[in-house]
Amino acid sequence: MVKQEIQDSINAQINAEIYSAYLYMSMSTWFENEGLPGFAHWMRLQAIEEMYHAARFSEHLVDRGGRVLLTAIEGPPQEWNSTLEAVEATLAHEEYVTDRINKMMDLAIKLSDHAAVQMLGWFVAEQVEEEASAGAIIDQLKLACEAKGALLMLDKELGSRPMPTPPPDVNL
């Protein structure tokens, strides 16, 4: 049976992951409206990946006899001033999620919840990848200096991102 503190922490994270999906869908539609279908595609896949994460947390709770409790999700921003600002917001959001995951890991270690530690280890590694990916796009955007040709090349590259696969232990 999962301890109440862990259950509460995971439920909060499930809702945070769903908010992340909501945020990235908002960014995806903004990029579509800006004429950047590749960026929109990349963000749509980010949203799908975040829902996979929510499912993985949910399955962990259910497998351990816990209860998933979903709460209202706040509406995300709808507008950004530039492509760079939107991707910087993505990185800032991923850094926020990383901090949440790290605090959950600290709690799991404190409570000697080895099952949660093992599950969270996957998310710790995933967050390294998430931050690196957003950071690389920011670096490329800064190199492009808003040059339309470079922006369109990056847009084309992001449009080729393959569909993410569900993380281990998620039964869809």
Q: What is the pLDDT of residues 108-148, one digit of tens each?
A: 999 999 999 999 999 999 999 999 999 999 999 999 876 78
pLDDT in tens, 72-84: 999 999 999 999 9
CATH number at residue 44: 1.20.1260.10
Amino acid at 127: Q
What pTM value is reported for the model? 0.92
Query: What is the Cα 55 distance to its own chain's centre?
Result: 13
Biggest CA pair distance of the chain: 56
**Which region, left, alpha or beta, applies to residue 145 given φ > 0 means left and ψ of -120 to 50 means alpha?**
left
- Count the domains in the chain: 1
What is the C-alpha to C-alpha distance for residues 8 and 101, in angstroms, rounded to an integer? 13
Q: Confirm whether 164 is domain-assigned.
A: no
User: Can you give the residue range of the structural domain that contains 29?
Assistant: 4-158
